[in-house]
Structure formats: structure tokens, C-alpha cells
Structure 1
């Protein structure tokens, strides 16, 4: 006879981690032993310092508040809603409860035996990893009172523990050139010459027993040490090193280095006693390693035209995808992709300069703005750039600007062909507004700072993140010095920047629901950029400017610097870094998956685990906005 209640519980649990990775019989065993608990609003499930129950809990309906008692105060740490698990850590660690759990509204809970779960996860690695990473590390309290917790330890540990190895399967030649051991060296050399290959495998019963390479012919035959009429066995290297067809690039590289060889034999089962199916050469590895960043940079420097740069940029996109799949730390990925983007931009400038009829009439600098300026541009986005040239006399100003405008048009056109779309708002150096002399740029920034308006503040958030890509450093230094001088003389500008940083409220409404777009093309979708990333970016910019810190454009670098100069807020700033890393990675993953900017997320396509990851990033956003609100008295300006 069917257990209807157990089946209903089964159908509910299967939609939430870690139950979604359990085998059907494992999950049904849990569902059959669940105790259903009803709680009225205000009732406690357990209290802080209480000994752990035999069960942990998952919310079926309602909302459970988690509170930390500090003196006489009860501080709300988080709210658990449908599908959230709580009360598990003390059972795993045999410890008392660190928080109290109280029903914030009528709630229905499923109480699950931890002993049954422990028994099951012993044979389920995915469930074990989820439990260990997500619950033992207490992801819902990223930095409360320096608790022993880490924001999304599962993501963090993946990044920290990752070895920088190439895990892709190597592509080998499936038509190896062979001869028999009865063949002469001359026969083998003629085959190699006719097939235009640098090696030949000696086989017996279709199994590899040796190899001869060009090097063997040069050192042993051309020198006269051995007659060319001898059998191939006289000079072949044996035994050969064999691998199965699933060999990775990393394994191939290590094997070649270890054995000081340039070729590997690929056989059916990976041993020399099975049929030969292919050969992998050192040259093949070099070709496969074309997506190696250092190789790509070299290719960029050797590129002769824009089509070559476009091809290299496409390979960089493949490199990005591989890094994301390998869980390489996002900071490392950002640096690599930024270096490639800068190298492509520099080469585009150099190619464009060669196309100009004359040399530049004045010194100049090409600036990357926005995400590229912050070195946070991972996916291909539209262009944001500007050009500053040294001051010239009034007589030649017009012709000088025209020269740099023409140069900028050539550069932006090349970047467009490569894949970087034109900026819809024309915030590019090809626009006369953003191709100015040093004095004009100083005046422009001073106007934005001393006469703040909605438009000028918006422009400031873009142009204040400039980064020198090509040209004269001194021009940029003078421009930066002027900007900080203007800010010092009109510090209320920082308050206006602060108000702009609070335009988007925290991404969750009272910890519970994602704030989504109300209308338009992306109705009911979550704006990952505006609601999550930009508040962190804007806050870091404002705070670093307030400390008069120059040459810190990257958001993570800014928070690291802030953590040093404001030790009282160190935990918050470090949590902002953690949140930013996770959000940037997630945006990149979404962009790769959907072949777009990754900005808008359809929440209906996210599983519970993904929603938990995002929610865990939102508390630092709320708290950094509260810090800005208090520091700059922003409540009075709203």
C-alpha cells in the first residue's frame, strides 16, 4: 500500500539541495521517516545554547527567523523560507545551537533524522560536498562577529583548492604513420618523407613497439654511426610511452617532460599491449595550447590585420569558458582576460597609427573606461573609451583634435570588427566630447565635481574608472591630480556620489524575495548588474576617492585597500570582496550559457542552490549601503 504522505514529502524534497542529488530509494527512505511539525507565529523551534535535537529542519511553508542573542538584544541574522534547511550544523559537529529559530509566521516544517542522512551521504559524494560546504560553513552568516564562517565556502574552496591544470582532453592524430619491424631505416625515411611527417611508429600485430623521429635520423644516420640499410629496430626508441584516448593536455605535458620525449602513443586501453589508434606530438600540444594566454599575447603582437585579432579574441573567449569550467579563481581570470583585451586594444591602436598619413601631432593617451577600465570585463561588451592629448596652441588645436578623432574612428572601428560593439551612448574616443586636450579634460572633470547633476554623476561613475592602455603616463597623472584637487575643494560631491550609490535598494525585500524588473523587455527578471554588482562597485569607488587613493580602479583591489586603512570595517570589506567574486563569476557563467551579457537572470530557471548562493551575497550589499548612508548623511539628501 502506498504511503501518500511520504510521496508528497518526496515530491517536495526532490526539488531542493541536497535531496535533489540523492538516489530515488535514498530520498524515499528519508521522506518515509520525516516528522511534520506545525508552528504558530512567535513559537521557537530551538533556542541559542540549547543542545541539538535529533532532527534538522527544512521549511515546507512559512518563514523561520534565525536570531542571535547578544546581551538583551535578539538580532535577526536571516530568514529561512520554502526549501531552506536549518539546524544541521550542531548535529554534524555535536555542538549546541549558536542561534535561536523562531516562526515569524505560521509555518510547516519537515523534521529529518540526521542519522538517516549521515548514513545515506556516505555513498553520495555530491550530497556530502553540499552538506559540508554549504551548511557546516554556515553560509547564511558571512561575517557576523568574526564567526568561523565563509561566504559560500563551497565556491571559495573550489577556487582556493583548484590546481591550475589543463583538464581538456588532448586532440591527437588518428592516422599514425607506421611500418613493420622488418622494414629498413631507408624504407622508414622514405615513408616519412612522402607523408611529410616527423615520426614513424614501428608496429607488430598493430601494437606499437618503437618510434623513430627526425632527430634519430639526424643523430644516428646522417652522422654515419649506423647504416641506412639496417633494420628500424637498430635506431628505434623502445618501449614507447602509451596512454588511453582520454588523455588530458596536462597529462601529456607531464609525460613528455618526465620521459624527455616529444611523442606519445595512444592505444585502445592505454597500454603497449593493445591496438594503436593514434599519436600525440609535442607540436599538437603547442597547437592545443594556442589558448594559453601567453601564446595568445604573442599572437596578438604578431598580428598583421584586424581579422587576425578577431580570431584571437574568439580564442580568448574559449579560454574564458575553459577557465570558468575549471573553476579557476575569478580574480585570476579577470587579470588574464583584461591583459588580452588591453593587448588587442594596443595592437588596434598600432595598426591604426600605421594607417595615418602622418605621425601624431602631439602626445596622447588612450583610456579604457567602465568595466575594462576596472579590469573586470570578462564577456565581450560594448566599447567605453576616451582619448586625452597634450595641450597645444589655439592655432593648431582644431587640426590636432581632428587628427585624433580620425585616429579614434579607425581604432573603434577595428574594435567593433573584433567583436566589441559600439557604445549606444557613444561614450567613445571617436566622439568629439571624449577626445579632448588635457586642459579640457581637467575642466570637464572639475565641472562634473563642482556642479553635480544627475547626468554628471552618471558620467562620473563611468569616467572615474579610467585606465591607461596606451600612450603617455604623465598626461594621466596630471589628469588624476587635477581630479583629486577638485574633489578636495568640493567634498560635498562625494555625498552626491553616495546618493547615486543608493539608487538601487538591496536586492532582497526583507531577506525573502528577489527584487525583479516590474516592466519592459526583462519583466520579472533579476538585474544582476544594477541590483548586485553596481552597488558594490559604486561603494568601492566612492570610499576609495574619499581617502584620496589614486591608481586603484579595480573593485576588489579597492576593497582590499579599504580593509587596510579602515580596520574597523575590515570584515565588511572582505565580505564585499567575497560577494563580488561570486556575483562576477555567476554573471560570466550566465553570459556564457545564454550567449549574452549575463546581466538579467530568469529566477524560474534557478535551482534552490543557485538562489541560496545569490542570496548569500546580498547582505554585504545591504550593509555597505547602510555604511554609506550613515557616513555621508544621505538620508537628508533623499
Structure 2
């Protein structure tokens, strides 16, 4: 016979992560072990310095504030409400609570025993990911105390982040403390104290035979079970859990939980029979989580002002730098950067609406250019346009005035974040802040009369992505553009001709075409001479095949390779060339704190110079495809 309370709890848990990934039977068994707590307003669940409890909590109703002390002030770091979990420290740490949890409303909590839930973590990496990232955000242990929550709306983003966790190797201590089995506990403890390390590896000829940690000293020495004069071999944990040098963050997380350990020994071949290389600690995992994009996105959602958004974007730059160093594919980094950039734009709009008041009608904010293509890794231009619903003529001025004011404030916030607003193509410009019917008319003019004297066609407007607002408005823009593509020969010819007008990257003698004067004299303009020609080519070819819902240059070329097999090799080479150019530009931008547009070729490594030159090869082939496909004698 079922326990009705356990069934009720199981039904509640099934609606929320990470419990939604468990079976009905598992949730029922968890429900049987849950202790239901009624917490009065202002009552403390636990406070900083309290000993760890053997349970964690999910809020059934009410609101809890999680705070920590920094610079002698109490700072709010999380606000778990119905369906959210907190108090995860017993899973991942051994020392006392580092935060205080207090009820801000009368609340009902479900206290779930750690021992009951641990088996589900060890067998389910998605549950593990969720708990670790929640812990790093609200525990006060992460390097930046960043807010988190791994509840991104985009499943694709979740999968990409998860994939990166398996790609990304960890930073760890490559000079661990090594001691002999015949040393006393007192000597080893003193060495650990002197070296400020929380562990010591016991070895024979640099082969690991055991490990001693702070936990061992507390549980076996401080309790009186062993004397400090005992040999360290008496209290060490053995055998040591060993891993190879390229162990990823996710793999290390799972091994620690499965084996209930706080340290992993890194060896030359990953076994306990080879030489010691280093040691991975729990703190290394927490540090790695601090700049995780999932953590940063939730932190963005809670940022109170532009200054905080700027700090978060700088943290993401660290993530990009580390990812490049660890050779994570640039396509993955681009995807995550797109999500972070979108989150920053959304938050800038939300903060503006909070100050300005609710908009009079529905609207949509579109990113265009590199932001719209999800190719913006370094701080560069913010390009955008805004579309609002049609209104009666007598309300048109006041409506437009509101959205111009909103766009101006959003642009100002994003300027503080680090995105340059000195561009003509931005939503605060009245020309690019218009009603739905005005935008439909604008796209029709661009596509019907390209190249006419009175028509200026900024091609980056065809690399748009909805960043905020009404999906219905986006669908209207899509219908306008893609319905026109069936009979716009002149439009494609214009786009193709514009693509071929880009300045040549190489001279007649196959040398890099560098700037001859001005502020960037002797530098190579990698943006205009290498990246944009590929962007333009992918755009015109992608639109000609009515490739919808994808404006990313790399992915456009990949899709073109499948659509036109006879040119597949050229398109695939172009996709890889784009990644080479983007990677070089990003590295230069991060190194010089710039947008990376101008690079000193002679300062590149010999390898990068060769990659850059070789990547230019498919561009000539693309030119021929475009000339033939769109019969460009009309414009040439």
C-alpha cells in the first residue's frame, strides 16, 4: 500500500530539476525518506559556521534567502523559492556551512537525506551537473560567488555546455606534496601546513600507494583514534583513485562522487602503477565551475545594474581564453558566447523596462551582424534593430518615442558592458526602430530595389536573430524575407556583387595586403580582408537556398556542403577557414584588449602565419561559384 505523503512529495519533486530526471519509483522512495519542515518567517535553517547536516533542502512553499559575509557585510547570494534546492554543501565539502539560510516568508521545506540521494548522483551525470553548478553558485565557495542555476531554456546550450565539460581538462596542482610511508602523522601534518596544501600523497619511487587529507587528520587524529606519532601509512586512504592527465571536469566530478573522495591522483597513464603527475582537489572543481557559462547566465539574470553585467562579461572572457588554450572547438565556444551575449541583451532590456515602465505594445529586439550570427567572442560593435506592434495613427508618435527611449537606454547599458555603440546600425537610431508594417515595407524595398540610387542595403540586417520579445513578430519578418527569396534574382546579384567588392587579402605576389597608412599601418585587417568576405559569401549562398533559422557562417557553409555536394569541398574548406580567421582574431583581441580586427602578421607564430595564408585559398574558389551562380555581369 502506497504512503500518500510520499506519493504527494514524489509528485511535487517530479516537476523540478534535477528530480525530473528520475523515475517515478525512485521519487517515491525519496519521498519515503523526506522530513517535512515548517519554518516560520525569519527562522534560520542553518547559519555560517554551523556543522554540516546530513540533508539538503527543496522549497515546497515560501522563500529562503541565502547570504554570506564578505568585507564584514552580509550579502545575498541566492533566493531559492518553490521548487528550488539549497543546502548542498554536505555533498561536496566537509567543513562547516559557509552561508546562512533564513526564511523570508513562512515556508515549507522538504529535507532530503544526503545518503538517500547520493546513489542517484553517482549514476546520473545530468543530476550531478545540476547539483554541482547550484552548489558553486550559492555555497559561497566559488571563486566569484557567482549566481547560478543550470536551468537554461535552450536544451542545445545545455548539451553544448555538457560537451565542453567533457572536452575541458582541469587546472590542478602539478607539484603535490609527496611523503614516505614511514613518516609520522605529525611530520606530514606540519608539511601540509607549511605548504598550504590539503593533502599529501604517500609514494614509493614516485608511485602512489595512498593519500592523506585534512579530513583524515580531523577524523582519525583529532578524534583520538590514532596518535600523532603514528606512521602516516596507518591513517592513509588506499588504494588512491587515479586518473590520467587529460581528465575532464565532468569525469573528475563523477569519480569523486562515485568513490566518495575529495582528491584524485593524476598519474602518467592514469593507473596507480605509473609516476605521479599531480593531484586534483574538490576546490579545483569549484574553481572550474566559477566561470562556467551556465553559472554566468543565471548570474546575468540577477544582475542589478550595468556595472555588474560588465564584470560578468569579463569573467566570460576568461572562459573564452581558457577554452582556446585547451583547444575546445571554436564552434562550441561560439554557441556559448551567443547565449551569454543574448542573456546580457535580455537583462539590459529588463533593467530598462523596470526603470522606464511597461512598453505600450509588444515588441522584439533583434541582434544583427556578429551578435546575430553568434560569432562575437571579443568586445566589438553592438548592432541591432527594434520592431514594435502597429498602433493607431494617433498613438504612433508616443509609441515610437517610448521605444526610442528604451533602445537608447539599452544601448547605453550595453556600452558599459563593453559593446561599442558607435555604429549606424543600432536600435536607438529612429531609422532602425519602427513598427511591424514599416519593417515589412523596409525589407520589401531592400529586396525589390537593391542597388537603386535611393536604396542603401545594409546586408547585415539579413543576419538577424531574435534576442528579446515577441516570436510572432519574428515570424512576420521571416515570412517577409523568405517569401521574397523565390523571385529576387536582382537581390542575389546585388549581394553577390557586394561580396566580391571586399578588399583582397593578398597582393599579386601572394604577400599579405597590409595597411599602408593610418593608425593601423603595417597591420593586416583580418575582419575586412578575410572574415567578412566569408560571412558575405555564406549569407548570399545560404539565402539563395532559403536556409532558414541559421545565420552562423560556419554552420551555413556546413549546410551548404550538404545542399550542393558538387561544391562540398570548397564549402567545407571555407567553414574551416572561417574558424581559423576567427580564432586568430579572438586570440589577438584578448591579448591586446581590442576587437582583434588589425593584427601584426609578423608577430604571429610561424604556425599561425601558415594557417592564415592557407585558409585564404578557398576564397578564390568561392568567388568563382558566386560569379557563375548569380551571373554577376549585371552589376560588374
Q: Which TM-score band (shorter chain)?
A: 0.5 to 0.7
Query: Is contact 1:168–1:248 with CA below 8 Å preserved after alignment?
Result: no
Q: How many angstroms apart in 2 are the aligned matches of 1:413 and 1:443?
A: 28
Offset at residue 373 of structure 1 (A): 0.3
Offset at residue 237 of structure 1 (A): 7.4
Q: How many angstroms apart in 1 are the aligned matches of 2:362 and 2:566?
A: 44
Distance 1:490 1:240, change over 3 A: closer
Residue 434 of structure 1 pairs with residue 446 of structure 2: no
Q: Give the corresponding residue for 1:372.
A: 371
Deviations 1:7-58 (A, max 9, x none): xxxxxxxxxxxxxxxxxxxxxxxxxxxxxxxxxxxxxxxxxxxxxxxxxxxx
Offset at residue 543 of structure 1 (A): 1.3
Greater shift after overlay, 549-558 or 253-262? 253-262
Query: Is contact 1:210–1:240 with CA below 8 Å preserved after alignment?
Result: no
Residue 319 of structure 1 pairs with residue 319 of structure 2: yes
Q: Give the corresponding residue for 1:484.
A: 482
Offset at residue 508 of structure 1 (A): 2.3
Equivalent position SS for 2:458: helix
Query: Is contact 1:297–1:340 with CA below 8 Å preserved after alignment?
Result: yes
Q: How many angstroms apart in 1 are the aligned matches of 2:236 and 2:452?
A: 74
Distance 1:455 1:382, change over 3 A: farther
Equivalent position SS for 1:380: coil
Query: Is contact 2:297–2:340 with CA below 8 Å preserved after alignment?
Result: yes
Distance 1:617 1:263, change over 3 A: closer
Q: How many angstroms apart in 2 are the aligned matches of 1:476 and 1:306?
A: 27
Greater shift after overlay, 336-345 or 251-260? 251-260
Q: Give the corresponding residue for 2:380.
A: 381
Distance 1:324 1:228, change over 3 A: closer
* Correspondence list, 1:175-190, <5 A: none
Q: How many angstroms apart in 2 are the aligned matches of 1:628 and 1:202?
A: 63
Could you state the TM-score of these two structures normalised by the residue count of structure 2?
A: 0.61
Q: How many angstroms apart in 1 are the aligned matches of 2:464 and 2:216?
A: 53
Offset at residue 240 of structure 1 (A): 9.5
Distance 1:279 1:507, change over 3 A: closer
Could you state the TM-score of these two structures normalised by the residue count of structure 1?
A: 0.60
Distance 1:395 1:214, change over 3 A: farther
Q: How many angstroms apart in 2 are the aligned matches of 1:562 and 1:242?
A: 47
Distance 1:210 1:321, change over 3 A: closer
Q: How many angstroms apart in 2 are the aligned matches of 1:262 and 1:393?
A: 65
Q: Give the corresponding residue for 1:443.
A: 441
* Correspondence list, 1:250-399, <5 A: 250=249, 253=253, 256-257=256-257, 259-262=259-262, 282-283=282-283, 285-356=285-356, 358-399=357-398
Query: Is contact 1:367–1:470 with CA below 8 Å preserved after alignment?
Result: yes
Distance 1:432 1:455, change over 3 A: farther
Distance 1:170 1:294, change over 3 A: farther
Residue 408 of structure 1 pairs with residue 411 of structure 2: no
Residue 164 of structure 1 pairs with residue 167 of structure 2: yes
Equivalent position SS for 2:364: strand
Distance 1:300 1:214, change over 3 A: farther
Greater shift after overlay, 372-381 or 603-612? 603-612
Equivalent position SS for 2:575: helix
Query: Is contact 2:505–2:529 with CA below 8 Å preserved after alignment?
Result: yes
Offset at residue 416 of structure 1 (A): 1.3
Q: How many angstroms apart in 2 are the aligned matches of 1:626 and 1:202?
A: 63
Q: How many angstroms apart in 1 are the aligned matches of 2:306 and 2:462?
A: 29
Distance 1:350 1:247, change over 3 A: same
Equivalent position SS for 1:382: coil
Distance 1:413 1:534, change over 3 A: same
Q: Give the corresponding residue for 2:207.
A: none
Deviations 1:145-197 (A, max 9, x none): xxxxxxxxxxxxxxx999712343459999xxxxx979xxxxxxxxxxxxxxx
Q: Give the corresponding residue for 1:599.
A: 597
Distance 1:228 1:506, change over 3 A: closer
Higher RCO, 1 vs 2 (CA within 8 Å, ≥6 residues apart): 1
Query: Is contact 2:170–2:284 with CA below 8 Å preserved after alignment?
Result: no
Distance 1:610 1:349, change over 3 A: same
Q: How many angstroms apart in 2 are the aligned matches of 1:348 and 1:494?
A: 36
Q: Which runs of 5+ in 1 are unaligned?
A: 1-159, 175-179, 183-198, 221-225, 267-271, 273-277
Q: Which runs of 5+ in 2 are unaligned?
A: 1-162, 178-183, 187-197, 203-209, 267-271, 273-277
* Correspondence list, 1:49-88, <5 A: none
Offset at residue 435 of structure 1 (A): 1.2
Equivalent position SS for 2:479: helix
Q: How many angstroms apart in 2 are the aligned matches of 1:456 and 1:500?
A: 17
Equivalent position SS for 2:404: helix
Q: How many angstroms apart in 1 are the aligned matches of 2:235 and 2:366?
A: 58
Distance 1:216 1:401, change over 3 A: farther
* Correspondence list, 1:138-287, <5 A: 164-169=167-172, 210-211=212-213, 213=215, 238=237, 250=249, 253=253, 256-257=256-257, 259-262=259-262, 282-283=282-283, 285-287=285-287
Q: How many angstroms apart in 1 are the aligned matches of 2:437 and 2:385?
A: 15
Greater shift after overlay, 595-604 or 567-576? 595-604
Q: How many angstroms apart in 1 are the aligned matches of 2:199 and 2:568?
A: 62
Offset at residue 292 of structure 1 (A): 1.6
Residue 420 of structure 1 pairs with residue 426 of structure 2: no
Residue 533 of structure 1 pairs with residue 540 of structure 2: no
Equivalent position SS for 2:535: helix
Q: How many angstroms apart in 1 are the aligned matches of 2:494 and 2:261?
A: 64
Q: Give the corresponding residue for 2:27.
A: none
Q: Give the corresponding residue for 2:194.
A: none
Query: Is contact 1:427–1:434 with CA below 8 Å preserved after alignment?
Result: yes
Q: How many angstroms apart in 1 are the aligned matches of 2:453 and 2:351?
A: 35
Offset at residue 505 of structure 1 (A): 4.9
Query: Is contact 1:559–1:577 with CA below 8 Å preserved after alignment?
Result: yes
Query: Is contact 1:401–1:436 with CA below 8 Å preserved after alignment?
Result: yes
Deviations 1:188-242 (A, max 9, x none): xxxxxxxxxxx99999xxxx9855659998xx9xxxxx99776689997746969
Q: How many angstroms apart in 1 are the aligned matches of 2:589 and 2:287?
A: 27
Distance 1:451 1:467, change over 3 A: same
